[in-house]
Amino acid sequence: MKYMIASDIHGSAYYCRKMLEAMDKEKAERLILLGDLLYHGPRNDLPREYAPKEVIAMLNSRKDCIYNVRGNCDAEVDQMVLEFPIMADYALLEIQGRTIYCSHGHIYHENHLPPLKKGDVFLHGHTHVLQIKEKDGIIIGNPGSVSLPKEGNPPTYAILENEKFVIKTFEEEIIKEYCL
């Protein structure tokens, strides 16, 4: 199965649209969202085309293929308008015999990992900074931010397929690759 992983849409209809277009182009079967879907947060500027109602409609149209974890900007009121679960603090996936722990990154993060064993994968967003690396035998991946990237990075998403993790721009430029 081919998974698209994205984080930190923050209510940008422009980047949500680009993300879903990329999902179609990639032919990804599932979209793993790592939180912060609708609200931009008090420390962020408004993202391009800030239009949470449009984001709601776009995401609800894909509700059958979305796995999502709650970000620090996601609230119960958001769950009232989204037609897929968004309030879980984490999700556990088993992909090709490997445990994938998905979290937003505001509770568990690189310096406070959840209980994992060597070879497991920890996916998170929150920092808006893309990365893929190994730490103490655990693979840590962050797809970056769809709408508000930091540290000079472009807007990005990741693809996970056949034990290969690839971070890409919406122009299909490969930024990082990692074989799990």
Rg of the chain taking only CA atoms, in angstroms: 15
State the Cα angle at 5 between 60 and 80, rounded to 5°. Answer: 30
Cβ atoms 155, 175 nearer than 8 A? no
The per-residue pLDDT for range 76-113, each reduced to its tens digit, is 999 999 999 999 999 999 988 899 999 999 999 999 99
In angstroms, the CA 37 to CA 126 distance is 11
The per-residue pLDDT for range 35-64, each reduced to its tens digit, is 999 998 888 888 999 999 999 999 999 999
In angstroms, the CA 101 to CA 120 distance is 8
Q: Which fold has domain 3-90+144-179?
A: Purple Acid Phosphatase; chain A, domain 2 (3.60.21)
Helix (H, G, I), strand (E, B) or coil at 54: helix
- Over residues 13-32, mean pLDDT: 98
Bridge partners of 122? 101, 140
What pLDDT is stored for residue 139 in this prediction? 96
In angstroms, the CA 146 to CA 16 distance is 8
Q: How many CB atoms lie within 10 A of CB 171?
A: 9
For the chain, the structural domain boundaries read: 3-90+144-179
Q: What is the 3-class SS of 76-116, one letter each residue? A: HHHHCCCCCCCCCCEEEEEECCEEEEEECCCCCECCECCCC
This prediction has a pTM of: 0.96
Query: Locate tokens 């962020």: which residue?
Result: 44
Rounded to a whole number, what is the distance in angstroms from the first to the last CA of the chain? 15
